[in-house]
Amino acid sequence: MKVETSINKPADLMSSINNLGNDNKSSKAKEENSFMDMLENTINDVNQKQLKANQMTQMLASGQSEDIAGTMLSLAKADISMKFLIQVRNKALNAYDAIMHIQL
């Protein structure tokens, strides 16, 4: 089995090693942004599911819709999503409390 590398000279090797730290810093910034974006997207998704479930419930109650199964499914999805979001919040608060109790 032959392994090929794109580094052929010692200078290329040093350049690659020096760029490792830069890539790591930029990837950490991307991770921070991506976590914040992921959290924001999750909150927006939960909100949309809640709004959709509410709309479907109102349509069913007013007689505009006869889709009981779809309404129940939408309510279940909204409920599970909200429970998940609450658990994420609880874990974040527990982590914050643990950090605040660390004595330096």
Number of domains the chain contains? 1
- Domain contains 93: yes
Domain carrying residue 65: 10-100
Dig out the tokens for 19 from the structure.
Answer: 């760029």
What gap in Å lies between CA 68 and CA 70, rounded to an integer?
A: 6
Average pLDDT score over the chain: 80
pTM reported for the whole predicted model? 0.63
Residues 14-51: tens digit of each pLDDT: 455 555 555 555 555 555 567 788 889 999 999 999 99
Residues 43-85: tens digit of each pLDDT: 999 999 999 999 999 999 999 999 999 999 999 999 999 999 9
What gap in Å lies between CA 12 and CA 6, rounded to an integer?
A: 9
Read off the pLDDT band of 104 (50, 70, 90). confident
**Nearest residue to 46 (alpha-carbon basis) of 10, 96, 85:** 85
- Domain contains 5: no
Distances from the Cα of 73 to the Cαs of 44, 46, 60, 65, 78, in angstroms? Answer: 19, 14, 13, 14, 9
Contact 7, 13 (CB under 8 A): yes
In this predicted structure, the answer to whether residue 7 has a pLDDT above a threshold of 50 is no
Dig out the tokens for 81 from the structure.
Answer: 């999503």
- Domain contains 1: no
Q: How many CB atoms lie within 10 A of CB 65?
A: 15
- Domain contains 60: yes
In this predicted structure, the answer to whether residue 3 has a pLDDT above a threshold of 50 is no
- Domain contains 2: no
